[in-house]
Structure 1
């Protein structure tokens, strides 16, 4: 009897799953295993929104395996200890896992590989499971281990192409003598955002197919449309791996057209950040390109940070974005850019403060995408224009011209019609008094001048 273990991490699906496919093909039995890692819980990364979504995903993965005659084995503890114990009990020859990109994931693979080798077993690490193209599959000429600029990466990534998606296995046989803990329930998690979406592979695939059918065609023209909410909202499913990025690339390319092309480009941006983090794990906490910033600190900065976190900056489109984040555990990408630019450039606050706050709320809070997008906006990352500043008034007028998005999330200003909602401080005194909304915490001109001085751009 041949047995393999599949260690699920950020790949909680049965469709297009190379480790599961390889394990099923290798022998008689498979132990599909998810370990609730105590180190991740201790780090604070298991924020309520992601924990709730994860529980949906685990229940969905178990259901998908049971439809194929299997089941999910859930355990808690140190990943290496748990996997060794399960492999020994099941008398497994191999353990299959998707390659990770974070420093923690890479260290986990090294520890696990050494431990299994000592036990006379083998760890098989599969590439292109959580990304469409493996981080090391395309590298620039000249010996560098990663691309630091997106456009040349996109050209090479496009030429490489995503691998062909795999079918879900028809049957998964799990040894009866491998017990499992209970799959935790979502409704037991406290502090979950009121508008948090449902997780799990079934929900992800339904959204994916609806997006391909009804949304992707207009994506190029509408992806920055704040009130229209015309993005795919697939990012939580990509983060937890209930959807395959390789399958998404192929579905979009089969659909074709400008919208599909623009969507594929965004999937490439995700891979781009993953290959940067894989090569430079320290960028999760350290500047990719130091600008010698002396970020603001102290009581004044702390007050500004609280106003930003609470959506009370006095700049309606920024406040709308921050309130959407709290309510849904998700945020439109244009809103993310505006909120991040305001904190790092206008308020001149360390990007790590913003990144940490986002990770406390975002259901799709991915270390690669979150940290490196924050660095991109802050000008310490891969942006070729590190000193660009997004003006929230101009951005609001452009991407929410009639103020619909602002009024949706900042109900205090619901009585203001049209674009007037973006500059309530310009109202006459009598009219202004009718709205319980704060004055701007900083003048945009003063904030810009402060940033230019800090970066030596005057």
Structure 2
């Protein structure tokens, strides 16, 4: 009886899972395996919020497998060593896994391939599992990736969609293979109080609700900070509890301007993955260097701490940073605003902000996080690298009544427009009633500082 190992990484689902389908079609039995990668933990990427969400995902995956007659095998350690050990225990013929895009993922795949081939086993790496379109599937003439989004989107949208597979009805797993206990969410300390639930069941529930009740209005409401009219699917896309190909398919089937806008956002995710796959070093290095002279020293460190804690004196920035700490998630418009404030008003290195986001974001995806930060900082793929988002104007536009600010900055509750956006404009006697800090820096001074640092005339 032949047997295959299916190595789960960031693809924790049963629906539309090409590696699992391929293994089931070629072998009588499979071993669904997840390795708690000590390399990722040692590198600092196992943040509490993602660790807790991962526990939900693994528990749900195991439950789904048990409904189909199988189970999830969990091991801990070096991925290559643990996979090879299990292959020998089970006498497996082949290993299937999803392709990654980071330098770490590429190196892990190559180490695993070499180790398996040395034992006469085969590794199959499947594309279009963590992205809707594989990195490198569309490229411009003379380059291995698209550096500008719009032409990438045109080519991406022209590709015929791949078939989306249902979940298998039966998964046969050998009974005699040992497994560690599933990790428990309750055992993880330091999580955000409002952290969302993980798992494929929750992902599919959210997607169905989104398609039925939120998608149609998305084009008009996705920037409404207080309305929070976004899908909240990003953590599930990051952990792979939701297939991006299925999300694209179901949105297109619904049709309409909202669906088109949502699919465009899913394409942005693929765009960033293909950039990182082609240029892995940009996880830490500028994609396009601007000769920045980022501020450092005590004043910059104190301002950065105030930014992290949500006490910059700019209500919409502080609201977004407090939402991040409370939920492990932040509205996309808030991400743009807070990143612009750090990099272009405080003129602090984008890597510091990206690192803080990765410490808290449950959807802390290396490709999206790092490249969105670079886009805002002007060192990435943005064709207007020196644009600066004015937090007051953005607040007036995307939170006109101040409801988002009231929710997350309760010390300003009851304060109406325009003062909820600019509390420093209150008369002194009124200002004293609100326990809220003065602005860290005047916006005009921050702009001048940024221009000087970047050498803009």
Which TM bucket (shorter chain)?
Answer: over 0.9
**In structure 2, how many angstroms separate the alpha carbons of the residues matched to 1:179 and 1:24?**
21
1:208 to 2:207 alignment: yes
Aligned ranges for residues 169-184 of structure 1 at < 5 Å? 169-184=168-183
- Is this contact kept in 2: 1:225–1:399, CA < 8 A? yes
- Is this contact kept in 1: 2:15–2:166, CA < 8 A? yes
**In structure 1, how many angstroms separate the alpha carbons of the residues matched to 2:417 and 2:29?**
62
Counterpart of 2:232 in structure 1 is 233
- Is this contact kept in 1: 2:293–2:454, CA < 8 A? no
1:303 to 2:302 alignment: yes
Counterpart of 2:273 in structure 1 is 274
Q: Deviations over 1:412-436 (max 9, x none)?
A: 0003023320000000000000000
Counterpart of 2:109 in structure 1 is 109
**In structure 2, how many angstroms separate the alpha carbons of the residues matched to 1:381 and 1:152?**
16
Q: Which moved more, 1:113-122 or 1:152-161?
A: 152-161
3-state SS of 1:116 partner:
helix
**In structure 2, how many angstroms separate the alpha carbons of the residues matched to 1:334 and 1:77?**
38
**In structure 2, how many angstroms separate the alpha carbons of the residues matched to 1:164 and 1:245?**
12
Q: 1:76 to 1:261 in 2, by over 3 A?
A: same
Counterpart of 2:45 in structure 1 is 45
3-state SS of 1:420 partner:
coil
3-state SS of 1:174 partner:
coil
3-state SS of 1:422 partner:
coil
Q: CA deviation at 1:161?
A: 3.6
Q: Which moved more, 1:159-168 or 1:381-390?
A: 159-168
- Is this contact kept in 1: 2:354–2:373, CA < 8 A? yes
Aligned ranges for residues 75-154 of structure 1 at < 5 Å? 75-142=75-142, 144-154=143-153
Q: Which moved more, 1:1-10 or 1:173-182?
A: 173-182
TM-score of the two chains, using structure 2 as the length reference: 0.99
1:54 to 2:89 alignment: no
TM-score of the two chains, using structure 1 as the length reference: 0.99
Counterpart of 1:407 in structure 2 is 406
Counterpart of 2:198 in structure 1 is 199
Q: Deviations over 1:86-107 (max 9, x none)?
A: 0111111110000000000000
**In structure 2, how many angstroms separate the alpha carbons of the residues matched to 1:69 and 1:103?**
36
Gaps of 5+ in 2: none
Q: CA deviation at 1:120?
A: 0.2
Q: CA deviation at 1:136?
A: 1.1
Counterpart of 2:369 in structure 1 is 370
Gaps of 5+ in 1: none
Counterpart of 2:331 in structure 1 is 332
**In structure 2, how many angstroms separate the alpha carbons of the residues matched to 1:297 and 1:455?**
15
**In structure 1, how many angstroms separate the alpha carbons of the residues matched to 2:153 and 2:59?**
36
**In structure 2, how many angstroms separate the alpha carbons of the residues matched to 1:325 and 1:145?**
35
Q: Deviations over 1:294-316 (max 9, x none)?
A: 10000000010010000000000
Cα root mean square deviation, aligned: 0.6
Q: CA deviation at 1:178?
A: 1.1
1:446 to 2:445 alignment: yes
Aligned ranges for residues 278-427 of structure 1 at < 5 Å? 278-427=277-426
**In structure 1, how many angstroms separate the alpha carbons of the residues matched to 2:416 and 2:161?**
47
Q: CA deviation at 1:163?
A: 1.4
3-state SS of 1:229 partner:
coil
- Is this contact kept in 2: 1:89–1:178, CA < 8 A? yes
Counterpart of 1:189 in structure 2 is 188
Counterpart of 2:245 in structure 1 is 246
3-state SS of 2:418 partner:
helix
- Is this contact kept in 2: 1:2–1:29, CA < 8 A? yes
**In structure 1, how many angstroms separate the alpha carbons of the residues matched to 2:127 and 2:421?**
46
3-state SS of 1:34 partner:
strand
**In structure 1, how many angstroms separate the alpha carbons of the residues matched to 2:162 and 2:453?**
45
Counterpart of 2:427 in structure 1 is 428
Aligned residues: 457
- Is this contact kept in 2: 1:338–1:392, CA < 8 A? yes
**In structure 2, how many angstroms separate the alpha carbons of the residues matched to 1:382 and 1:117?**
39
- Is this contact kept in 2: 1:133–1:161, CA < 8 A? no
**In structure 2, how many angstroms separate the alpha carbons of the residues matched to 1:318 and 1:364?**
20
**In structure 2, how many angstroms separate the alpha carbons of the residues matched to 1:265 and 1:301?**
36
Q: Which runs of 4+ in 1 moved over 6 A?
A: none
- Is this contact kept in 1: 2:95–2:122, CA < 8 A? yes
3-state SS of 2:286 partner:
coil
